[in-house]
Amino acid sequence: MSALCRLLLVACFLISASFAFSQNSSLHGIDLGDLDRTAQPCDDFYQFANGTWRANNPIPASMARWSRRWQAGESAKDRLREILEAAAADKNAAKGSTEQIIGDYYGACMDESRVNARGMEPVKPWFAKIDSARDIASLQEVMAELHDILVQVPFGMGSQPDAHKPAWVLADIGASGLSLPDRDYYLKPEARFKEARDKYVAHVAAMLKLAGWDQKSAAAGAQTIMTMETKLAEASLDNVALRDPSATDHNTTFAQLQAMAPHVDWASYFKHKQLPNDVDMNVDQPKFMQEVDRQMQQVSLADWKVYLKWQLLNSVASSLSAPFVEEDFAFNGKYLAGISEMKPRWKRCAESSDQLLGEALGKKYVEKYFPPEAKARMQEMVRNLLAAMRDDILTRPWMSEDTKEKAMAKIATFNPKIGYPDKWKDYSHVEIRRDAFFEDMIAGRKFVESDDRALIGKPVDRGRWGMTPPTSDAYYNPLMNEIVFPAGILQPPAFDLNALDAVNYGAIGVVIGHEISHGFDDQGAQFDFLGRLRNWWTEADLKNFQARGACVADQFDHYFIEKDIHHNGKLVLGESIGDLGGARVAFLAYQKSLEGKPRPADVDGFTPEQQFFIAWGQFRGDEIRPEAARLMVQSDPHPIAKYRVIGPLSNLPEFQKAWSCKADAAMVRAEAKRCEVW
């Protein structure tokens, strides 16, 4: 997910997907029993809004984070299971039908004894291909084939609208090839990163041993891989630099690409990808490509083979037999995220079906679980939020008329997508068999890759979605100026047709506002109304806007998760501007929706305004394992949930007023430190 968000410059809302649905949402949508009434809303609103729920609901062994929302999301996977089991049981499904494809994929995945009996066998033909390479040129041919199955190392190619003419899709060559969460894990001197490196080398060696290496060669292979990846890490941009769209903006010609990395046979690579050499392209990180080139020249063929075998193994481990699945989980789940137990197999198979066959499964999902009324209600809310954002921008005293006019043009071209795509992808030619899970997974990956590659060198297709319909997430794509809300997030506790308006505005309303605000965060604000990476701000306005962003970055720099570990304000800046703008604009939209109507009733003494903020605290707040919190603070552009509640609300005068907080309360930032962007 995060790789996709980074590659496509997509500002996602959440760290990872789950499904938000609650079977027992209350009449009004606020769960009063979740409140910790011993906490004061003006002291710690996160604790007040959901403290009792967290105390009564410890994080399950198979999860890194937990809240009513994550809980609902996990149980909603029962819906996918039901669809998949019904499809798997349908013996009369025609070949190539949706039922056959998702049913056989799930059925083959669930056939654990067959998967276990096959052990390493399905990977062997791929290892043989790698072994057959006689020189670096033929190794690169195998590398291109690995790219076709989404093992896109050490670089990858995908489609992306051209940042300078976004109606046109170019080939984007991105950096990858690292297996630890990001470059800093390879390079930072702190003990925890050093420990992660040691554990990683041991993990690689353990996986190679499972794949048939002896002890000594597995240990040596792991060191080789670590050396190659560390060099690639040194040449990679860090997480903060990657957030700057200009840092990855390099329109490149074929001749320039050849000059950048002369030891890659680009003509053969493009031929393999069925792309002409003169196709428009962008290279995200030229310095990284130079390092790839250096390694092509200087690293031995034998070491390259070890590297590619590891990358393949690492990428497909969860589709192999139990020993591989367990070793993979022990490092990536247990060690890095603190999760002690794997999810049950059916859930992993449902997730895998969604990842590779998402619109086939998603079509079935929305037929059953996404009523047209939900779409209509969301369309109305999005309209109201966009209107509130328009009003908000027009009343910003620090912004000139000229810049406001440009911002209005951008608001006018926002393209909201709700629920599911109008046109579904065609999976009918994807070869899926009941008795060959590994090959099915490969076929699914090939579909994903070729479906994306087919877009390159053509006008942009505005109907395409970057997330599957059952995904409980949302995104803004600055190149398309679109905000996208899959059906999976349009469920309680985010969204509920039966809930009070205060609750819908406080939960999904803030999510909508968050995505709209991404169009005007430190990243999105660099793209104009047509999605072009082009400055549309006056110099003074831009300076003022950047100073306002610096206030938010400084605020989050001071949020510690442990004694010596705090958020990186610049890393979480876009998401935090999104939350701050989202909360404010959703509140304004809610206020506006009340105009001319009788004032809604209090709920258990809580005013409508208080209900709005409780809804955000309950939807957004979750409990997180310390390991997962460390991982997030290091690598994720989203702050941990506690500070997504406390951070934005403590800047809002509307929050202070709603709860009658004193000026020196913890939830009220001092006037001089208060941040305001939108």
Q: Report whether 677 contacts 581 (CB < 8 A).
A: yes
Query: Sign of torsion, CA 543 549 553 555?
Result: positive
Among 11, 84, 500, 628, binds Zn ion (CB under 5 A): 11
Residues 7, 207: Cα–Cα separation, whole Å:
28
Q: How far is CA 517 from the centre of its chain?
A: 17
Which residues does residue 282 pair with via DSSP β-bridges, in sequence order? Answer: 172, 251
- Extract the tokens encoding 177: 């090839």
Q: Radius of gyration (Cα) for the chain, nearest Å?
A: 25
Q: Which stretch binds Zn ion (CB under 5 A): 5-13, 98-106, 338-346, 584-592?
A: 5-13
What are the tokens at 419?
């629920």
- From the CB of 516, what's the least distance to Zn ion, in Å? 11
Residue 485 binds Zn ion (CB under 5 A): no
Output the DSSP codes for 574-633: HHHHHHHHHHHHHHHHHHHHHTTSPPPPPBTTB-HHHHHHHHHHHHH--EE-HHHHHHHH
d(CA 676, CA 669): 11
Residue 383 neighbours by CB distance under 10 Å: 12
Only segment of 6-14, 267-275, 372-380, 501-509 that touches Zn ion (CB under 5 A): 6-14
Binding mask 46-85 for Zn ion (x = CB under 5 A): ----------------------------------------
Nearer to Zn ion, 478 or 492 (CB): 478
| Cis preceding linkage at 154, omega within 30 | yes
Q: Which part of the chain contacts Zn ion (CB under 5 A), choosing from 11-19, 153-161, 201-209, 618-626?
A: 11-19
Nearest partner of 105 among 356, 429, 344, judged by Cα: 356
Q: Is 288 in the site for Zn ion (CB under 5 A)?
A: no
Q: Measured between alpha carbons, how far is residue 446 from residues 147, 269, 319, 356 in Å?
A: 9, 17, 15, 9
Give me the least distance between CB of 637 and Zn ion, in Å please.
8
Determine the interface stretch with Zn ion among 3-11, 134-142, 220-228, 259-267 (rule: CB under 5 A): 3-11
Choose between 306 and 577: whose C-beta lies nearer to Zn ion: 577
Nearest CB to Zn ion, comparing residues 13 and 48: 13
Nearer to Zn ion, 156 or 648 (CB): 648
172 secondary structure, DSSP code:
E
**Cβ neighbours of residue 257 under 8 Å, at least 6 residues apart?**
173, 266, 281, 283, 289
Return the structure tokens found at 296.
């092509």
CA–CA separation, 39 and 196 (whole Å): 37
User: Site residues for Zn ion, window 176-195 (CB under 5 A)?
Assistant: none
Closer residue to Zn ion (CB): 103 or 574: 574
Q: Which is nearer to Zn ion, 243 or 348 (CB)?
A: 243
Number of residues counted as binding Zn ion (CB under 5 A): 4
Least distance between Zn ion and beta carbon 581 (Å): 11
Q: Is 19 in the site for Zn ion (CB under 5 A)?
A: no
Is there binding between residue 370 and Zn ion (CB under 5 A)? no
Query: What would the 3-class secondary structure string for 60-85 be?
Result: CCCCCEECHHHHHHHHHHHHHHHHHH
| Residue 585 lies near Zn ion (rule: CB under 5 A) | no
Cβ proximity to Zn ion: between 470 and 519 the closer is 519
**Shortest reach from residue 649's CB to Zn ion, in Å:** 17
Residue 639 contacts Zn ion per CB under 5 A: no
Per-residue x/- mask for Zn ion, residues 498 to 517, rule CB under 5 A? --------------------
CB of 381 to Zn ion, least distance (A): 17
By the rule CB under 5 A, 578 interacts with Zn ion? yes
| Lookup: tokens for 82 | 């039901």
Min dist CB 416 to Zn ion, Å, is: 15
DSSP 147: H
Residue number, 31 or 575, with CB nearest to Zn ion: 575
Q: Sign of torsion, CA 396 402 408 411?
A: negative
Q: Of 278-286, 294-302, 559-567, 578-586, which part binds Zn ion (CB under 5 A)? A: 578-586
Part in contact with Zn ion (CB under 5 A); list of ranges 316-324, 574-582, 604-612, 646-654: 574-582
* 576 vs 580: CA distance, rounded Å: 6
Q: Which one of residues 9, 13, 21, 470 is an interface residue with Zn ion (CB under 5 A)?
A: 13
Nearer of residues 575 and 622 to Zn ion, judged by Cβ: 575
Query: Residue 502 — φ and ψ, nearest 5°?
Result: -55, -35
**Tokens, residue 481:** 């100026």
CA distance 533 to 228: 34
CA angle 5, 6, 7 (to 5 degrees): 95
Query: What one-character DSSP code corresponds to residue 461?
Result: -
Stretch that binds Zn ion, among 4-12, 291-299, 313-321, 461-469 (CB under 5 A): 4-12
Of 12-20, 67-75, 168-176, 217-225, which segment contacts Zn ion by CB under 5 A?
A: 12-20
**Beta pairing partners, 527:** 533
Contact segment (CB under 5 A) with Zn ion among 39-47, 144-152, 531-539, 567-575 equals: 567-575
Cα distance between residue 247 and residue 87, in whole Å: 46
Residue 138: count other Cβ atoms within 10 Å of its Cβ: 15
Q: Pick between residue 20 and residue 80 the one whose CB is nearest to Zn ion.
A: 20
The region of 107-115, 434-442, 487-495, 572-580 touching Zn ion under the rule CB under 5 A is: 572-580
Q: How far is the CB of 518 from Zn ion (least distance, A)?
A: 6
Q: Which residues bind Zn ion (CB under 5 A)?
A: 11, 13, 575, 578
